[in-house]
A and B are shown apart, each in its own frame.
Chain A
Amino acid sequence: MRGLMKKLVGLTALSSVLFLTACGGGGNEESSGAEGGKVSADVGVVSFLTGSGAAYGEAIQGGLKLAQEEINAKGDVKINLIFEDSAGKQDQALTAAQKLINSDNVTAIIGPTLSTEMNVVGPEADLSGVPIIGTSTTAEGIPQIGDYVFRNSIPEALAIPASMQQAIDKYDVKKVAILYGNDDVFTKSGYDTMKKTAEEMGLEVLTTETFQKGQSDYNAQLTKIKNLNPDLILASALYNEGAVIMDQARKMGIDVPFVGGNGFNSPEVINIAGESSNGLIVATPWYSEKEDEKVQEFVTKFEEEHGHVPDQFAAQAYDALYILADALKNAGSSDRDAVRDALAKTKDFEGILGNFSFDEEGDVLMDPTVLVIEGEKFVEFK
């Protein structure tokens, strides 16, 4: 018996040695660099590609690939993307990032998709000195993780007050009802911003209702809200749930406008809810109808490939890679520190999202556009 024990301990030790030797290539040598004025770099992507949030991952992947093709075709910078799946889980996101940082020796990382994942991956990347850009992480405190952590996704703290302010001015709102998903980081942090903003604006909050993932019946909450007669409903929901909420609300006879957070903003809302989606107000950096050559080119190309209009996740990923390519070009090498410094200097970058700069913490400086759905179409809210 003891012999067997020893054998197995030996086996464990052996396998750990195997781990260690297997990573022989994991040193710090430059895997890529500048050749003849052309910078080439490996960029790692940690994305939510399987599981319940795979739709976000797919959009991000689509946006990135499109940008990569264009950038490589131009020839100033050559980017090689390495995709890793996180399945939306922190531990898998962390191992994926570790692999990218230490085995693939990437210059920079784009992703991960969720703010929860960024909370785990961010500190690790920062410690390892790898610049990391979140393209969909909107929760508070993300760029504050460290010097190497950036994001180009517009935080809720910027988007929600903008849309609320405009809606309140137009509809003369006094009383609001709040509805949010309380078991999701994204919607919960959106709710926190809504609550704070409502207090600051002196609005009366009639009721605060919650819902959970996987729920498809919102009638109980909506009936309660309906009977309180709010002027406006603040709904912090992801678009999949949000669209269903609007559909059920309209069927019930609730006709007041909705203000949604970042996750609510997607063309899919119109697809799912149809005419029930009219009256949804969101602030977004991304407006696919914008009369801008770059924007329309992106929309056409994306639609050709994927069969639908790109959402903000695709657009933000697309811009993020361009921002990174810009930084690579300015840095003149694929050295991680040089790229970080170049990234931090990004100012007045003109992407498909508009004019973009990082503030000193690596957070977003830009003005969101406020949109409303009218006649089953996103139009600018005036």
Chain B
Amino acid sequence: MLIEQLINGLTLGSIYAIVALGFTLVFGVLGIINMAHGEIFMFGAFIGVMITSTLNAPLWVAFLGAIIITAIMGYLLERFALRPLRHKQGVSHLAPLISTIGVSILLENLSHHLFGAGNHPFRTSFAEISFQIGSITVYLVQIVIFVISIVLMLVLTFWLGKTRAGKALRATAENLETASLLGVDTKKTILMTVIIASAMGGIAGILVGMAFNSVTPQMGLSMGLKGLAIIILGGMGSVRGAMFGGLILGLAETFIVVYGDSGYRDAIAFLAIIIILLIRPQGLFGQKIST
């Protein structure tokens, strides 16, 4: 039973981690908490459902479709909700937060109209593949999710640390003006960041759809708030922090069910952020915040 629960916790944690990676990327570069990330994630899941069940297309098409659509959403988000605020004089640093809350409300209600309020099953034969180890059933999807989350983390770390684009990105994060003076196309860099983060949300959406066979318009809010909690737990802007924060939360939520009261499962994330911000505001893996 312990091993089964461990697998449950790791699966949930890996999904949280992928969602949190999208959050942390945007925060790391722009210093913005993207409250609409959860809804973009939800759209990714719906696109996956539409492509696999309505069009009967294979899974890779669903992935491709979800990535494309969520990337476009990321573009629109940056273009219309973030960019207009960037160079405005006297705009409070809270403005982008509020603006993305607006986007999240818009997207959640839009999905009600587009997809209906009900639950959509995610049917692919891939999600049915499982194997038996002793008395434990492990689904291939669970392993895939875990692997994808690790791969994404490694790729992001490498990309940010070693490649030219990654360096430009970090320079932009450090100081927008200086980076732009040094010849970094900051506009493009920021746009790319938001698009990549959104596409990662789309991937996470499909993975959740497959793993839990459940896609609803409400899943965005709940997942978005969890992702938020994780990046605060792990340290804002930290890739490693998002990964481990996600795994920690996933395991904690699973094990409170095992040993405690499942009624408080949703509160863990929020209690964690309150405690972490009071004790160690920079998060587990974050660098000291200078405000």
State the A residues within 8 Å of B (CB): 50-55, 182, 209-221, 223-224, 227, 240-241, 243-244, 247-248, 251-253, 268, 271-274
Contact = CB atoms under 8 A, between A and B. Distances in A.
Contacts, number: 104
A220 B119 contact: no
A99 to B, nearest CB: 23
23 contacts: A52-B217, A210-B262, A210-B265, A211-B262, A214-B219, A214-B221, A214-B222, A215-B266, A216-B214, A218-B212, A219-B212, A220-B253, A220-B255, A220-B262, A221-B262, A223-B8, A224-B257, A241-B119, A243-B121, A248-B213, A253-B137, A274-B121, A274-B123
Q: Looking at chain B's contact residues, is the secondary structure mostly helix, strand, loop, or mixed?
A: helix
B121 A248 contact: no
A253 B139 CA distance: 12
Given A227-B1, A243-B119, A272-B120, 8 more contacts: A52-B218, A212-B266, A213-B222, A216-B219, A217-B8, A217-B11, A218-B212, A223-B8
Contacts of A251: 130, 137, 139
B206 interface: no
Nearest to B259: A224
B8 A216 contact: no
Interface stretch (B78-86, B110-118, B159-167, B231-239): B110-118
Contacts of A219: 8, 11-12, 212, 254
A224 B117 contact: no
A247 B121 contact: yes
A52 B117 contact: yes
Contacts of B219: 214, 216
Given A55-B118, A215-B222, A217-B12, A244 B212 contact: yes
B267 to A, nearest CB: 10
A216 B257 contact: no
B96 interface: no
The 7 closest A-B CB pairs, nearest first, are A214-B222, A240-B119, A220-B257, A244-B214, A54-B117, A219-B8, A216-B214
Given A209-B257, A217-B212, A244-B214, A223 B119 contact: no
Interface string B202-217: 0000001001111111
Interface residues of B, number: 41
B216 A182 contact: no
B112 A54 contact: yes
B50 to A, nearest CB: 15
Interface string B89-131: 0000000000000000000010010001111110100000010
A50 to B, nearest CB: 7
Nearest to B118: A55
Contacts of B208: 216
Of A55, A209, A212, A217, most buried by chain B (CB within 10 Å of CB) is A217
B44 interface: no
B242 to A, nearest CB: 19
Contacts of A244: 119, 212-214
Nearest to B209: A216
Contact of A209 (B11, B221, B262): B262
A51 B112 contact: yes
A211 B266 CA distance: 9
A54 B119 CA distance: 12
B144 interface: no
B289 to A, nearest CB: 30
